[in-house]
Structure 1
Amino acid sequence: MRILFSGMPAYGHLLPLLPLERAARKAGHDTAVLTHGSMADVVAPAKTLAAGPDLEAIMGEVRRRTGADAWTDTSPETVGEFFGGARVDLGIDESIAAAREFRPDLIVADYADFLGPTVAARLEVPWVSHAVGIAIATDSHEAMKAAAAKRMRERGFSPTAPLALIDPWPACLQRDDWTASPDRIEVRSAAYESETSETEENSWTRPEFPGREHLPRVLVTLGTVVDDPDTLAAIVDSLGALDVNAIVAVNPAADTDSVSVDTSRVHLVGFVPMSRLLDGVDVVVTSGGAGTVLAALSSGLPMVVLPLGLDKPLNAERAANIGAAAVVTDPRDIAQAVGRVLTDPSFSEAATTTAKLIADMHTPEDILNTLLTRLPPTGR
């Protein structure tokens, strides 16, 4: 079978798709990932079908059309135009052409990606939606769907319904008013680990802190989207008040050569698979990205969250709601919050409880088998 995975050109949208893609590839299916070509190394060794715009192009188009800044304006109108309007307009033709050549029997699309569902409708291929974080607010998701549906109808075809919703986000972390859809299937998440063996990130080993091995270890990461050196520096400065060791993962595009730190207690790294970064860590300091929050909780690690835009305040609020995170609004308060998380065992206990819930969810292999049973019996 030929299975096409489609996602926004961002780490946080593509990485959650990869466990299922790997399971399908290892089971002997022919797979490919439809996304912007700049993300080829991220999804490797899976095949990339390079199509659609990158994030900067979409933001620029939204700004040109509406005057809105899609990074800070999260109104349903702007969200709908970003995901279901501008991105589809800029990528629909080349995405359909690339997918037609690949000839998929099934498409798995990231929940915020509407090129995948558009391709599925045009080629009359069944598709599945794959969540990447907390369920998107209903009004925003409806705006996204309406914008994409308009583009499809303008080209002479209509949207089709997904076979299922694959969801790695535990029910305990959803909004209080959230209701599971009837077609929802829980899938177990895991911290990202690269399959490629010769990359720099796979040659990375956990740093040593000579003479300080007995001290707590803190991972600091603002994720793969936020590039805010001033905030990062303020966090590191705050941690200087604590006797801890810190691993600081900076934005993949940032230059770490000019950053000055006390290397006896702080180790700077670029992009390293999250599974490796979490090894031996006691607390995770994060901006609240869905991928980092889920990876930390999957590993049973408590967090201190400094939410920085988009869905991050909600992710922080939900992690705090289950008792697994302390939330701060000022990077200068990081040290105090980390100290509280390290000394109050309830944070670690809540994270461990959540990790057990995640471990009880379906494996990607289970999900793959379930999806195959739901495909139309005649196939393509």
Structure 2
Amino acid sequence: MPTRHHLAILPTHPLRAGYDRTVEPGSVADRFQRRLEPDRFHPAYLRDLTSRIERALAAAPDDELSRYRLAFVLLQNNATAADVDRAARLLTGTSLPQGRRLTRLIDAISLRTEQPRVGRRVTRVNWSITNRCPMSCQGCYNPFAAEQISLDQAKGIVDKLAEHGTTDLVLAGGDPLLWPPIHQVVDHATAAGIRVALDTTGYTLTADKLARLSALSSLRLPLDGVTAEAQRAFRRSPDRNLHAALLESLRLCDQVGFTRVRVHTVANAKNLHQLDAIAEEVFSHPSVAQWVVFQWWGRRASPATVRALAVDPAELRSAVRSIRQRHPDREIILAEAAERELLNWMIQSSGQVVTFGSGPEEEFILGNLLTDSIETILTRPILDFDAMARGVPVTPRSARSGPPST
């Protein structure tokens, strides 16, 4: 009897818009550009792709593009220290801009290979627990998978995390509130002593659901504009009333007295001019304990989307600094794209564990919690334990003095 079942992926894969339509379907070039699609980004597909690139490289050993592709895929598929070394050799003397970018990443990985890994802990985990989502964000960087584990498997993963010593778990998606067993996963994790945050669009939030989520350390809700147009520039939805629905979710939290809300704003070229007004809206809600401003990044976006939405980090830094001066008592966190490189230890809906860099397509498989121990996954040389320790706290500052009230 199969233990997984397939779900429709609602959002369009964000890289698809930038595909090169001139390459032959099924060719190495085509398979390489499609490798991050949900039904392809898994070890078996990447092993097959590796073999195909190896054959192409054997026929043309000096082809820089083949060497770059092989180096990248080696890093993306449960890379060992030997894989990292080979990737470095493949890119020696590369003249490709993307090859030089990958070389810098490899150099940083190589510097960490001598760091001790035995006894290390991953204390904060992000879990993209479902693919289903009512939105299709421009350049969405959540690593959707094509499979959905069962509730029993999810509980087994929680047990592994608790035994390992994980203290903080962020349940995201997609939208976890669209996965019916999510409340049972929250209850199982909190009973195991793990602090749990839930990252939702708020689209289906109700008072009854909030009551069932009372044990959360924080509830994360999005707000990316004070107008519907600014909101839609990043988060797309067939519902033209999306912006009103997001504000209604915040008002609902106000009404029921849920005071551990963390608002996420993705700062981009279309809403940077509204950041002051967004801050005023956010802090008008007594339910909000923390505001996090994420710099939009184009790790999984087409070149056209990058040109439309990319924001200058210095300009964003200045805007947030000004807002902090006007709201000195509020917890305002700026998460720049460069600071999020290799920060996430993320479980996909299939149980596969990934991390990702800040550059295009930099997504790396580390293992699978249905088959691998956490200790085995932590031996992967690509992991940056210092980066993982820099993440935004799961629990807002105002709620850290004790357990959440129920």
Q: Above 0.5 in TM-score? A: no
TM-score by length of 1: 0.32
TM-score by length of 2: 0.30
Higher relative contact order (CA 8 A, sep 6+): 2
